[in-house]
Amino acid sequence: MSALRRLAYFSPLPPERSGIADYSAEHLPYLAELARVTLFTAQPEQVAAELQTAFAVRSISDYGPESSRYDIAVYHMGNSMYHEAMYHVLLRYPGITVLHDHGLHHFMATRTLPRGDFAGYAREMGYVLGAEGVDLAYRIRHGQAEYPLFTVSLSERVLDHSLGVIVHSHYAQHRIREVRPNLPVSVVPAPIRTSLGPLRSRAELGCPEDALVFASAGQVISIKQITSALEAFARLRGDFPHARYVVIGAELNPDLDLQTWLQERDFGDAVISTGYLADTRDFVSWIAAADVLVNLRYPTVGETSATALRGLAAGRPVIVSDHGWYAELPDNACIKVAPNDSEAVYQAMRRLAGDATARREIGQRAAAYAQREHSLDTAARRYLDFIEETFRRTTSVLAQSVP
């Protein structure tokens, strides 16, 4: 490129409690070496000070009148309501969408149904499935059907308003091409900080130095099968009484009342819950303090797990569900278990508990893989390659349409 592209960058940003906010905070300095980036967010005055120092931060409402100042917009879309304001801009000013979750049904449902906007939800179902989708929405409303959160993606409207899409797995790319075969889609492995920097020790974290530590990190929701992992851990403690299980960075979630679940079982001090960790250093320190990370998920909405990647980057063996993006991880750099197979989870945990050499060797391969495929600078270059390709293609099409 002869000049740096001018990017309008839409994303949740710290201190918002969003994995995509953390993703952007880590990735932006590398992207800024290759492009001129302006950040757009719903509440610019609340953005973390270090980002305000390094970037121009504007209100999303400013973008429309200023859109001609930018070569292209980049929208980071996921399933939290942090994406709602940018979603409206995306529909009016198409750009490149980074689709963190292939399925956006949770987002579409949350932005309509709790507000009494059933018609809005029915419109989204109809957009994807036609009259059949509207009929299904009404049957759901009357308790005659369940929400197809994992089988009807509701991402098609976003796809149809995108000039191109970046995803982080071949699984997500395949799902998009099933419904929009002509839409340009680039697979860019999810970037993660692979140089961990100074971390807190187990002693600083209050974690027993001599314990065998298993851990799960991130949101505690039922599809992450945390209770299945804890049940396997309870069996394991019969032979490994010094083992501990840490639930890292968990927030209260109505989907699963973990505290009540734990209180109903006699885990004593064997299970440690850190609560929400606002400091990424603390979050990563806990992951690095673990001997084994358990990162199960089924079904999937096409997400890529930042917590699994942080575990790999920290050189920890990670137990994952053999499904979606997780199935694309190298077989020798993690332990894969069939979805919903509690016995397989137990056997994987038992194998790693009893074999320190296996833990070390798998962890070394995991760290090498993360460094090779998921580094921040490599992802930034691949972003810009696709951005340039999309910009050139779009301007060429526009030029041909002018009489």
pLDDT digits over 292-328, tens only?
Answer: 999 999 999 999 999 999 999 999 999 999 999 999 9
The pLDDT of residue 263? 85
185 and 207 in a single domain? The answer is no
| Sheet order of strands, 56-59 included | 56-59, 35-41, 5-10, 72-77, 95-99, 162-167, 185-187
> Is 24 part of any domain?
yes
Q: What is the mean pLDDT of residues 239-249?
A: 95
pLDDT digits over 154-186, tens only?
Answer: 999 999 999 999 999 999 999 999 999 999 999
163 and 310 in a single domain? The answer is no
356 and 228 in a single domain? The answer is yes
Residue 394, domain CATH? 3.40.50.2000
Domain that holds residue 212: 202-373
Q: What is the mean pLDDT of residues 274-278?
A: 89
Which is higher by pLDDT, 403 or 330? 330
Contact 86/40 with Cβ under 8 angstroms? Answer: yes
Residue 149: count other Cβ atoms within 10 Å of its Cβ. Answer: 17
The pLDDT of residue 403? 65
* pLDDT band with cut points at 50, 70 and 90 for residue 196: confident
Average pLDDT, the chain: 95
Residue length of the chain: 403
Residue 1 in this model has a pLDDT that exceeds 60: no
387 and 299 in a single domain? The answer is no
Number of domains making up the chain: 2
The pLDDT of residue 252? 65
> Is 353 part of any domain?
yes
Q: What percent of the chain has pLDDT over 90?
A: 88
The pLDDT of residue 159? 98
> Is 170 part of any domain?
yes
Residue 316: count other Cβ atoms within 10 Å of its Cβ. Answer: 25
* Beta bridge pairs of residue 272: 246
Indicate the Cα dihedral angle 14, 104, 136, 323, nearest 10°. -120
User: Distance between terminal CA atoms of the chain?
Assistant: 28
> Is 131 part of any domain?
no
348 and 328 in a single domain? The answer is yes
Contact 190/201 with Cβ under 8 angstroms? Answer: no
Contact 35/384 with Cβ under 8 angstroms? Answer: yes
* Beta bridge pairs of residue 318: 293
> Is 331 part of any domain?
yes
> Is 139 part of any domain?
no
> Is 335 part of any domain?
yes
> Is 311 part of any domain?
yes
Residue 400 in this model has a pLDDT that exceeds 80: no
178 and 45 in a single domain? The answer is yes
The pLDDT of residue 2? 55
50 and 181 in a single domain? The answer is yes
